[in-house]
Amino acid sequence: MAPYLLGLRLDGRRVLVVGGGRVAQRRVPALLDAGASVTLVSPSVTPALDDLIATGRVTWERRPYQVGDCDGAWLVHACTDHRDVNTAVAAEAEAKRIWCVRADDKDASAAWTPASGRVDEVGVAVTAGGDPRRAAGIRDAIVGALRDGTVDARRHRTKPVGVALVGGGPGDPGLITVRGRQLLAQADVVVADRLAPRALLDELSPDVELIDAAKVPYGRSLAQEKINELLIEHARKGRFVVRLKGGDPFVFGRGGEEMIACARAGIPVTVVPGITSAVAVPGAAGVPVTHRGVSQEFHVISVHVAPGDPASTVDWPGLARSTGTLILLMAVERIKEIAETLVRDGRSPETPVMVVQDGTLPTQRAVAATLSTVAERVTAAGVRPPAIVIVGEVVKVGQEIEMVRAERIP
Ligand SMILES: C[S@@+](CC[C@H](N)C(=O)[O-])C[C@H]1O[C@@H](n2cnc3c(N)ncnc32)[C@H](O)[C@@H]1O
């Protein structure tokens, strides 16, 4: 017979747990979250349960189970390693008409614990014919869909308003945050950057208005003004606007300018940080941006203005003197000048460099070089933006990691 699913409101009610092992360790926190007053009967407990006991959240009777322990309980969990003890606990509970969950024998158990999960106020509970792994798998799929917005649990709640500046991550659609994905699923209008993860845009429902910010005409700074106007105009019409950007909105993403423009217009703005390509792309290429004993600092630099250009505010001599990792964005077209500047200002021409194009995407590729060879290698390999240039000894660490992996992992 299929079980009858019920949500027990255990606040302040006594629950007896017999057994102090791994099963009890999993069950007790959920009972406490539901407000239950938990009594645990067992000669010994795991360290995790011991912590709960030490903080006074669980009452521990340090002894074996004895008849009468079920008295006053609303619910009983029999989860010892001994079948005869679990049988005795279940028999006492049954005689007293108390629901008992047996961990060792689903067929002999009066009640089953479903695989459960929670996303905000939505609770998910799954049973699968007594197969806990299957139930957990289904629960994970549902909880995942609720979290990423594929299943919209918020449909009947107040719709978000204004503008959300959402960091889409470096390109792989799996690297946007859960919050970012949820807001994207609720958008009426999406204004997307050139580097915003394209795959996420394909998932938008057909009634969502998609504006490609890369195609807004007027040249660089005027285009930004036009984008600000679009955000404000749509939000004023009561539409929820998601401004989807590559990486993090505030790392060379002009998120600050858009935020100021919206604030001036009285439009509420939510900021959802993103995983910046500055850290994620080196990581995807196997290069740690810091490494103990090698580099204890990393500098993230936009090279949209070349070194030596009067408009540049970058302290190139300072960067050349430092031993930290340099992460250069928008640098591919100016790589020759950059490498020459760093060498002229004091970095060794032998400093390792790696250039990573299309990081985290299926087309990702990397070119390894040194400061003296990088310009030539980038040209020979035909590297195109978007790319990240990593300068420093950490590149060698990445190569060492790769070598060890290739040797050891088939
Ligand atoms: C205008 S900046 C935006 C940075 C973004 N806000 C971030 O946090 O990643 C664009 C530059 O980021 C770098 N970039 C972004 N995504 C990249 C990727 N998937 N692979 C390599 N470089 C990337 C390139 O240097 C590109 O020219």
pLDDT in tens, 234-281: 999 999 999 999 999 999 999 999 999 999 999 999 999 999 999 999
pLDDT band at 219; cut points 50, 70, 90: low
Query: What is 14-113's CATH number, 3.30.300.10, 3.40.50.720, 1.10.1840.10, 1.20.1440.20?
Result: 3.40.50.720
Query: Residues 371-391: pLDDT tens digits?
Result: 999 999 999 999 999 999 999
**Is residue 58 lining ligand 1, measured as CB closer than 6 Å?**
no
Mean pLDDT of 326-346: 97
Query: By alpha-carbon position, which residue is closest to atom 5 of ligand 1?
Result: 247
> pLDDT higher for 154 or 144?
144
Closest CA to 282 of 233, 326, 346: 326
Q: To test the ligand 1 pocket, which listed residue (165, 175, 176, 195) has its Cβ within 8 A of the most ligand atoms?
A: 195
The response to whether residue 358 sits with its C-beta less than 6 Å from ligand 1 reads yes
Residue 171 Cβ inside 6 Å of ligand 1? The answer reads yes
The CA 271 to ligand 1 mean position distance, Å, reads: 19
Q: Whose CA is nearest to atom 15 of ligand 1?
A: 277
Q: How far is residue 235's CA from residue 269's CA, in Å, rounded to a whole number? A: 10
Atom number of ligand 1 nearest to Cα 328: 25
Give the integer Cα–Cα distance in Å for 240 and 176: 19
Q: Does 112 score more than 60 pLDDT? A: yes
Residue 145 has pLDDT above 90, yes or no: no
* Beta carbon of 172 within 6 Å of any ligand 1 atom: no
Architecture of the domain spanning 163-272: 3-Layer(aba) Sandwich (3.40)
Question: Could you confirm whether domain 278-403 is CATH 2.60.40.10?
Answer: no
Catalytic residues: 193, 215
- Quote the ligand 1 centre to 130 CA distance (angstroms): 48
What's residue 98's pLDDT?
Answer: 98
How large a percentage of the chain has pLDDT more than 70?
Answer: 97
Indicate whether residue 389 lines ligand 1 (CB < 6 A): no
> What does the domain layout of the chain look like in residue ranges?
14-113, 163-272, 278-403
Rounded to the nearest integer, the mean pLDDT of the chain is 94
Model pLDDT, residue 220: 63
Name the pLDDT band for 149 (thresholds 50, 70, 90). Answer: confident
At 162-205, the pLDDT tens digits run 999 999 999 999 999 999 998 999 999 999 999 999 899 988 98
Query: What pLDDT does 214 receive?
Result: 81
pLDDT score, position 202: 87
For the CA of 248, the nearest atom of ligand 1? 8
Question: Who has greater pLDDT, 237 or 214?
Answer: 237
Q: Is the pLDDT of residue 154 over 70?
A: no
pLDDT of residue 217: 66
Query: Closest Cα partner for 16 from 74, 72, 76, 64?
Result: 76
367 pLDDT higher than 90: yes
Higher pLDDT, 51 or 118: 51
Ligand 1 proximity of 168 Cβ (cutoff 6 Å): no
Predicted confidence (pLDDT) at residue 346 exceeds the cutoff of 80? yes
Least confident span in 27-31, 154-158, 237-241: 154-158
